[in-house]
Amino acid sequence: MSAPTVSSALTAAAVTDFIDVEGDLADSHRLEEWLALWNPDRALYFVPTGALTSGRREVAIIRDDFARMTERVRRLRSGSAHAQDPPSTVTRVIGRPRLEPGEDGSVRATANFVCVEVRPDRETLWAGKFVYTIAAKPDGDGLELWRKDVYLVNARSEIPSLTFLI
């Protein structure tokens, strides 16, 4: 599928690079930089317990707006998130995103992923589908993240702490 022609900033290459940067920042615990990718007025980070739905009534593992993400990052930085002391070693592999026009000039990008989290006492393999809503910044200087849905293949299994961001 070719890149939507919604905005010259929203090329397939630019969106793919943005997704790679978002993952790299999260994996390397550069969480303030990761948070800066989000539009504070539109941000929604959603990890449901089930399949590809995004209804507001669905039970979610994570349903964070920008304020809750900011609080999560603050808690991780404070040392009070004992499940992340020391921080997990995380790496993810993200498949080539498939793009389609979204709402309000955004692009919806869907990509499969595999993420490995290593803790001193365990290793966890996370896998699933990321669905991003990405738009050009209003000033035209780059892209911003409006929404990220994470549909885990193992969401209905016993899930260890998800203190880190996937």
Taking only the tens of pLDDT, the chain with its 166 residues reads 444 344 567 899 999 999 999 999 999 999 999 999 999 999 999 998 876 555 556 678 889 999 999 998 898 888 776 566 678 899 999 999 999 999 899 999 999 999 999 988 889 889 999 999 999 999 888 999 999 999 999 877 777 666 666 6
d(CA 3, CA 76): 36
- Domain positions in the chain are 12-152
Q: Which CATH class is domain 12-152?
A: alpha beta
**Positive or negative: CA dihedral 3, 90, 152, 48:** negative
β strands within the chain, DSSP E = 44-48, 60-64, 89-94, 98-101, 107-119, 122-136, 143-152
What pTM does this model have? 0.86
Residue 38 bridge partners (DSSP): 145
**Positive or negative: CA dihedral 106, 108, 12, 141:** positive
